Amino acid sequence: MKSTKFIVSAIFALGFSAAAHADAVPKRTKDFTGNYQTLVKDQQAAPQIADYIASAYDYVKKSKKYDRLGFTKDDISAAETNDKSSKFSTSDPRKVSAVISVPGEARNKGASTKWDSIMLRCGITDGKLKAIELAPNKAGK
């Protein structure tokens, strides 16, 4: 009886902790290096910003909503950093030491001509990507 209660409580604990972390940081794919180099060389992205955008390209591969991302030089130069330690987002309450936000566009799956204005948000702790999300860009383009 005690072991059953323990198992049930463990299942609930795992379920709640999984729900708290909305999206996992993607593992780097074989395309990461090429995407990173293109961002740094052709679009003059700062290495740190290029790292996060290249990670977003890997992230979108598993997205249920989008199949492609687009960032212009103007988008990249408009990247903002909030160095205030806080929760990453309402859907992912992990504490991060900074949030990098980059405006861009994302193409809806199955609708090759429909692109949404998005904000790539990356949560950083100790210089490492800890959280990532694509949020609607309320400012638009």
pTM of the predicted model, to two decimals?
Answer: 0.80
Percent of the chain with pLDDT over 90: 73
Q: What is the DSSP string of 71-124?
A: --HHHHHT-EEE-S-EES-SS---EESEEEEEEEEEEETT-TT-EEEEEEEEEE
Mean pLDDT of the chain: 86
Asked if residue 13 belongs to a domain, the reply is: no
What is the domain extent for residue 122?
A: 23-136
User: Domains in the chain: how many in total?
Assistant: 1
104 or 4, which is more confident?
A: 104
Tens digits of residue pLDDT in 107-132: 999 888 899 999 999 999 999 999 99
In a domain, 18, yes or no: no
> Would 59 be classed as within a structural domain?
yes
